Amino acid sequence: MSPAAATAATAAATAESHGFLSPTGVEIAFLLVGLVTLGAAVITVTTRQLVHAALWLVVALGGLAVEYLLLTAEFIAWVQVLIYVGSVVVLLLFGLMLTKAPIGRSPDADSRNRPVALAVALLAAAALVWVVVDAFRTTVIDLDGAAQGSTDVTGSILFRHWVLPFEALSVLLLAALIGAIVLSRKKAAEDTTASPATDPHEDAPTPEGDR
């Protein structure tokens, strides 16, 4: 972080009116929420309790939703809360339960290549932060004026300019749904009595499949 701090200091010296040393309220809020988000993400990838990892992921994703709100992208913030916090984390918790993840501390949560992973992540972080700070240290987002991501704006551009990708995405979601059903249904030879083809709840992975 020392080259990043040095470049930030020089950027504060070169930026004429908005420096890093006189942050606005939005910047302070963004920084604090960003620290919480990053800390929750680090705990998510380092904790040894598997269910706690999913719950800290909720904190990280919720913090990102607050960051979207600070960037005036309201609609994406609420979509983030609905889809990520509402459904993806619940799916992950279901997956942890269905694979009989141990409650409490599991000593083998990390694999043997943990030092290599740490080295790769630290090198990538140093390189990315250096490049990003060097490129954008004098760039300022102007947040005045109307919100750029309100539901009005987003709906308008989505159904005026992005209709074809939107419809293609619905086809992809249908394909993913069918794929998940096919992958998680039991073989017909395993239980001939249960008649799985008429079961309406077979898209949810059933706990009977684990026995």
Partner 1 sequence: MHLHLAYPAVLAALLFCVGVYGVLARRNAILVLMSVELMLNAVNLNLVAFDVWLRDSLHAGQALTLFTIAIAAAEIGIGLAIVLAVYRNRGSSAVDELRDTAESAAEEPDPAQEPRQAKPSQKAEATA
Q: How many residues bind partner 1 (CB under 8 A)?
A: 96
Instruction: Please say whether the beta carbons of 6 and 134 come within 8 A.
Output: no
User: Using the rule CB under 8 A, is 194 a contact of partner 1?
Assistant: no
Whole-number Cα distances in Å, 186 to 148, 192, 194, 211: 47, 10, 10, 11
By CB under 8 A, name the one of 9, 59, 84, 202 that touches partner 1.
Answer: 84
Cα(9)–Cα(29) distance, rounded to whole angstroms?
20
Angle at 29 between CA 75 and CA 138, to 5 degrees: 90
Cα(71)–Cα(149) distance, rounded to whole angstroms?
8
User: Using the rule CB under 8 A, is 38 a contact of partner 1?
Assistant: yes
Task: Give the amino acid at 55.
Answer: L
| Distance of closest approach, residue 28 Cβ to partner 1, in angstroms | 10
Footprint on residues 101-160 left by partner 1 (CB under 8 A): 101, 108-114, 116-118, 120-122, 124-125, 128-129, 132-133, 136-137, 139-144, 148-149, 153-154, 157-158
User: Using the rule CB under 8 A, is 18 a contact of partner 1?
Assistant: yes
| Distance of closest approach, residue 196 Cβ to partner 1, in angstroms | 14
Helix (H), strand (E) at residue 121: helix 114-136
User: Using the rule CB under 8 A, is 177 a contact of partner 1?
Assistant: yes
User: Using the rule CB under 8 A, is 66 a contact of partner 1?
Assistant: no
User: Using the rule CB under 8 A, is 202 a contact of partner 1?
Assistant: no
